[in-house]
Structure 1
Amino acid sequence: MAEEDAPQQGNDANKGCSGCGDGCGDGCSAGTQKLLLIIVGLVVVASVLVAITNPNDFETGDSSAVAKATLATATPTVVKQVSFEEKLESELKKANQMTGVDIESVTYNEQTKGVVIWLFQEDVWDEKHLRNSFAYTTFDIMGVLVKYPEKIDFVTIAGKTPMIDSKGHTSIDKVYQVETTIDDAKTVNWDNLINYNKDVTVAIKNNFESVWWHVAVRP
């Protein structure tokens, strides 16, 4: 009987660790947990290294995405091109030295190379004051226009002011107009005419091909 029991004990001894399901469950579970802990630890270490080497990806990830989206949808800045007419009007207004006379409008025709300029004076002391104001403003204007002979061929300057008729009605009427070519205008020293201390209507008459004054203000 003793000889038969010994082999049975040997078989029982070998039977205990044949697999994880045959009595070794606790050992296998402990090993699996250790493996998982190692994997989690490696993932954490990798994440920390990425955060250290690329901090901006974590701090500004959202803002970078917003910035990229904004740039993608932003409207490009358009620089407005200033036309010759606008440039001319700006220069003429700066050159005008006569207080009370406004350069109301400047029109440039590129096809005919013609310039039409309207002046307006609201407050007038008398007819001589009006004539002198328009004349000196005309000298200032012509001093600018002669700088652009390649752009301008013909010049028309007209002036308006409030007028009262015999019935007391007020209206804005044209009272002055002069015309010339730029070729003739280039022969005149317009800057020096500012110092002309005689009858300025004479200088106007001598330096323009066409001169017209309203009968109410005619010299």
Structure 2
Amino acid sequence: MKRALTAVIAWTTLVAAAGAAPMKAATATRPASRAVATPAPAPPSADSVLAAAYREAAATHRKVFVIFHASWCGWCHRMDSIMKAPVCQPLFEKNYVVTHLVILETGSKAALVNPGAMELYTKYAGAQGQGIPFFLIINPDGTVLQDSRIKPEGAAPGSWGNNTGCPDSDEELTYFVRLLHETSTLSDTELKTIRAQFARKS
């Protein structure tokens, strides 16, 4: 009886093991699930970026300050960092909706370019280009008031002149401050603060 019971137990164990083996094998050979890469969303068009900025500017009684830039552009990063400095950011935000359009990217970064941005840049910077950063100051109705090409007072945007880029020289700083004075409510003291920040060499 004891021997029979032992045999039954042994048989039961073998059956259980045999039944479990295929399941274990099936589990081991199940193909691993693969994560499906989600493609990055396409950047918005220049028209849609500007349309959103125009709406915000109209609702808040400001102008649009649009900067053409690229990820590799050191002067672009410098301009952004100065405009975002604690003493400057409130002054710009009080008067402008600051927005950016990406151009001149290549390789893996080409997908960052806003469709239509290069055409708008060329319209005002000229066919030969003026480098970046390049900026426009625009009314909420889409009228371009000023651009970053140094020119005499009264000259039309996009007409002629060298690009100030991120203003650094005395000539560039004087022109930049003049544009801000003509398109904002910034006081003389506030304009001096902005000029001093851009004039810093560190």
Decide which structure has the larger Cα Rg and report it.
Answer: 1
The structure whose residues are more often strand, as a share, is: 1
When normalised by structure 1's length, the TM-score is 0.28
